Chains A and B, each alone.
With several copies, the nearest count.
Chain A
């Protein structure tokens, strides 16, 4: 049947896609998979998509473990916006817990890790796989990691 509203098709300037996840380890896989299929449909190649999977998984894992830690019924919000050929993904948690946003700029020291010291790889991995990353706070009092993937 002819659909009169076929002209009302999605444009790249539309509202974002939003995913709300329970703040429990395991659900980062849902964010990772969703981001990956969107990036695939946008035409990003397998290596870019694999990198995005890692970046999103680490950002959501941090939101669950650090941002929302201890908050009952907390949620993680993943906001994905398609702007032309660019995919912007923001991961938001709810528990503002100030942290050093320069984490991960320097490559973590494997030698220290091999000596048994705590070395976090997450923030560093995020920075390796997206074209732009910004750590900020959001008005409702949580952290936001904003990741940009460009064609």
Chain B
């Protein structure tokens, strides 16, 4: 059973030339290793376009935001394009407030994010 355990699931898929990283579970300090690993693996595999898909995350805290900021920084360094999808309204708002939306387009659905990056 989950509760306090790290029930986070992070998996990667390819949609054409876009890599979708699915994040299911709490995005807190405990999510750091798994999310960073998935991002690093995608980058080492040559991914230039990435979607972080939060469809199943209901809890993202400030430590989670710090993880995502580090990924934004790393994407900038590697010349990668980054988009986010599946965030509920509250977390979309937080990401805009923090300023993350200037560095990663925020889309409602994964399909929209993939389409936008594919066209980009």
Contact = CB atoms under 8 A, between A and B. Distances in A.
A47 B90 contact: yes
Contacts of B2: 41-43
Contacts of B3: 26, 29, 38, 41-43, 82
Interface in B60-79: 61-63, 65-66, 69-70, 72-73, 76
A128 interface: yes
A85 B1 CA distance: 6
Contacts of A53: 59, 90
Nearest to A128: B97
A3 interface: yes
Interface stretch (A95-103, A112-120, A132-140): A112-120
B59 A114 contact: no
A122 B61 CA distance: 8
Identify whether the interface residues of B are mostly helix, strand, loop, or mixed.
helix
A116 B62 CA distance: 15
Contacts of A84: 1
Contacts of A54: 61, 90, 94
Contact of B29 (A6, A32, A38): A6
A49 B69 CA distance: 25
Interface in B27-42: 28-30, 32
A116 B70 CA distance: 7
B69 A110 contact: yes
Given A42-B3, A50-B89, A51-B90, A120 B72 contact: no
Given A6-B30, A11-B4, A85-B1, A121 B73 contact: no
A54 B64 CA distance: 12
A93 interface: no
9 contacts: A3-B29, A3-B63, A29-B59, A85-B1, A113-B66, A114-B72, A116-B70, A122-B61, A151-B1
List the 4 closest A-B pairs by CB distance, nearest first: A26-B4, A50-B90, A10-B4, A43-B1
Interface of A: 1-3, 6, 9-12, 24-29, 32, 38, 41-44, 47, 50-51, 53-54, 57-58, 61, 82, 84-85, 110, 113-116, 119-122, 125, 128, 151
